[in-house]
Structure 1
Amino acid sequence: MTDENATGGVTWNLAGDPSERGQDPTIQREFDTFMATRDPGRVREIVVGWWGAGYAGCSSELPVGLLSGAADRLRNVRSIHLGDIGQEESEISWIEHGDVTPLLEAFPKLEFLRIRGSSGLLLRPVRHGALRTLEFESGGLPAEVVRAVGASQFPALEDLDMWLGVEEYGGDATVADLEPILSGERLPALRSLGLQNSEIQDEIAAAVASAPVVARLETLALAMGTLTDTGAEALLSGQPLTHLRRLDLSHHFLSEAMTERIRAALPGVAVDLSDRQEAEEDDWRYVAVSE
């Protein structure tokens, strides 16, 4: 299925049939039919959906291989969404991936890449001169992927958003893994940073409080995680945040007194403190997206 997009090019919605829950060949057939009957040179955006069930051994390696192998014919692609798979089709933790580096290697003009799901996800350090937005939506982003982002060179990247998730679903990154990103050395154009959906949100907030990259950010998101007064106190005690246009702390475990302190400290910043949570028994806190 295709749609005309705002650029005058084509958005290609490439997906198999989720009703075929096993080894699903339909995404291969959809790809072959499109490439044989349509003009791939008009495609500006590719939205990749269902590629088959993970329990049947299906992973994103199939669509990644198909697209990267045809990159010369898909020469005008600027945006790829990999894993446009809703909860009714698969829980986010069940979406199986492989090495997604070939997309960055094969599409040097790519400006936008969003990846949903992280089971089996691999990324190798890479240099990409055109990428402006990189987003990972997951219930558990592997530390290896986080380190690869930090080791990559993205001179044009303006917006980086990572849902770090929980260790139970593969989110084993530490603050030390984030240090190359927080230094900003390989991300000279970065203006928006999201380090979200983490069970170590307090530790991340403390690291952000002194991170060099923050001084040139316009928006910062530490939302969706287990942020408490401890992490918020570290933010308020660290470097000034008054230069930000927006600070997203939604889905948090802050006291009402702390939310008032944050608002008072940042009067010119659009601060999102919505979706306040209460810790459950044994002081257990939860992220917004895990399984």
Structure 2
Amino acid sequence: MTVNDTFTEFHGLPIIEFSPEKPAAPQGPVAWRISVSTYDAEISWPEAFSAFLDQVDPATVTAIVVGGWADPYDKSSAEVVQAIIDAAPRLPALRALFLGDMDSEDCEISWIVQSDVTGLLTAFPALEELGIRGSTQLSLTATTHTALRRLVIESGGLPSAVAQAVAASDFPALEDLELWLGTEDYGGDASIDDLAPFLSGARLPALKRLALCDSEIQTDVAKAVAAAPVVAQLTDLDLSMGVLHDEGGQALMSGVSLAHLTSINLNHNYFTDPVRQQLRTFFADLGVEADVEEGDADADDYGDGEIYYSIAVSE
């Protein structure tokens, strides 16, 4: 499956699409979406961004959503990232940034060519939220950032090196971490060992929501989380969108206590009906809001005698 929608809000703010031809004058705080056509673009993204900075008071901008740039399936986000970094002195109030808000018609998630995003964290020490869609050529160097509260990386296949960099970074204020691990078919070679530093609870002292999603090794992820010390500090746990079988669900019921959680999301799974019912009862008894529905997950039998299981978002 693919990503079929772009955001309508970001960082708790409604999104306004910037147009150089028709500059908007929004009432109240907004998140600005700056985008160009991903096919046959008439101007480059940096040119559109330059127009934005000239037409909107950049000192008042708190949230930016980068949509499409020209040929993102072939051309990396490097010039987009550099343009934003270069504008940092003009954007003192920026607190939230999303890089690559494209749906499947713009560019499939696993075709989006990203770049080194470390400089965004360096250039914006007050940034509270960073989101990224796509992981082809994505790179991150382990860093320290004392203000970041939410980090989201959506991918059809998360590289091991990126997972390791996140795990090795010092994010003392981070409350919400969401990683789409994806499938090996699209470069997703992150392993349980890569996740171990923050599963131990040693790296992210403020973490309250942990989402490890969209993985073909989702059962192994669930088993690791079921024994992870970090769970004790969480309020919300998300293990949705992946290939999650009975063994993973059973591990969660027999592992560390989950009674303190507000919610757990296991949507898009391959539980058998008995285990699904056990999970419903288990979490209901704990008073934890739980989503254990199959969603649109199907096991595909191609007539070769083998069952194929799919994650929610890959290509």
- TM-score of the alignment, normalized to the shorter chain, above 0.5: yes
Shift of 1:185: 1.2
Separation of aligned partners in 2, 1:97 and 1:214: 31
Aligned to 1:20: 40
Q: Residues 84, 233 of structure 1: CA spacing in aligned structure 2 closer, same or farther, 3 A cutoff?
A: same
Measured in 2, the distance between the counterparts of 1:10 and 1:61 equals 25
- Which residue is 1:270 aligned to? 289
Structure 2 CA distance for partners of 1:284 and 1:89, relative to 1, 3 Å? same
**Does the C-alpha gap of structure 1 residues 4 and 163 become closer, same or farther in structure 2, counting only changes over 3 Å?**
farther
| CA–CA distance in structure 2, aligned partners of residues 131 and 226 of structure 1 | 30
Instruction: Tell me by how many angstroms 1:118 deviates.
Output: 0.7
Separation in 2, partners of 1:164, 1:135: 11
Identity among equivalent positions (%) equals 46
Deviation at 1:4, TM superposition (A): 7.1
Q: Which residue of 1 aligns with 2:134?
A: 117
TM superposition shift of 1:188:
0.5
Structure 1 residue 274, shift from structure 2 partner: 2.0
Give 1:55 shift. Answer: 4.8
The TM-score with structure 2 as length reference comes to 0.87
SS of 1:194's equivalent? Answer: strand
Q: Tell me, what secondary structure is at the counterpart of 1:203? A: helix
Do the aligned partners of 1:161 and 1:195 also contact (CA within 8 Å) in 2? Answer: yes
Kindly report which structure 2 residues correspond to 1:55-204, keeping only aligned pairs within 5 A, or say none. 55-56=73-74, 58-204=75-221
Q: Distance in 1 between matches of 2:219 and 2:146?
A: 33
Q: RMSD between aligned alpha carbons?
A: 1.7
Partners of 2:38 and 2:167 in 1: CA distance: 35
1:5 Cα deviation from its structure 2 partner: 7.6
Q: Is this contact kept in 2: 1:247–1:269, CA < 8 A? A: yes
Please give the alpha-carbon distance, in whole angstroms, between the structure 1 residues aligned to 2:204 and 2:219: 24
Equivalent pair of 1:3/1:12 in contact (CA under 8 Å): no
CA contact (8 A) 1:15 1:30 kept: yes
Using structure 1 for the length normalisation, give the TM-score: 0.94
Detail structure 1 runs of 4+ shifted over 6 Å in the superposition.
2-6
**Distance of 2:309 and 2:62 partners within structure 1:** 41
Q: Distance between the aligned counterparts of 1:265 and 1:212, measured in 2?
A: 20
2:64 counterpart (5, 27, 46): 46
The corresponding residue for 2:50 is 32
Maintained 8 Å contact 2:270/2:294: no
1:79 CA displacement = 0.5
Query: SS in structure 1 opposite 2:237?
Result: strand
Q: Is the 8 A contact 1:45 1:80 kept in 2?
A: yes
How far residue 27 of structure 1 moved from its aligned partner, in angstroms, is: 1.1
- Measured in 1, the distance between the counterparts of 2:150 and 2:119 equals 17
Residue 211 of structure 2 contacts residue 238 of structure 2 at CA under 8 Å; is this kept in 1? yes
What is the alpha-carbon distance in structure 2 between the residues aligned to residue 72 and residue 149 of structure 1? 26
Structure-2 separation of matches of 1:217 and 1:4: 40
CA distance in 1, matches of 2:25, 2:274: 49
Match of 1:221 in 2: 238
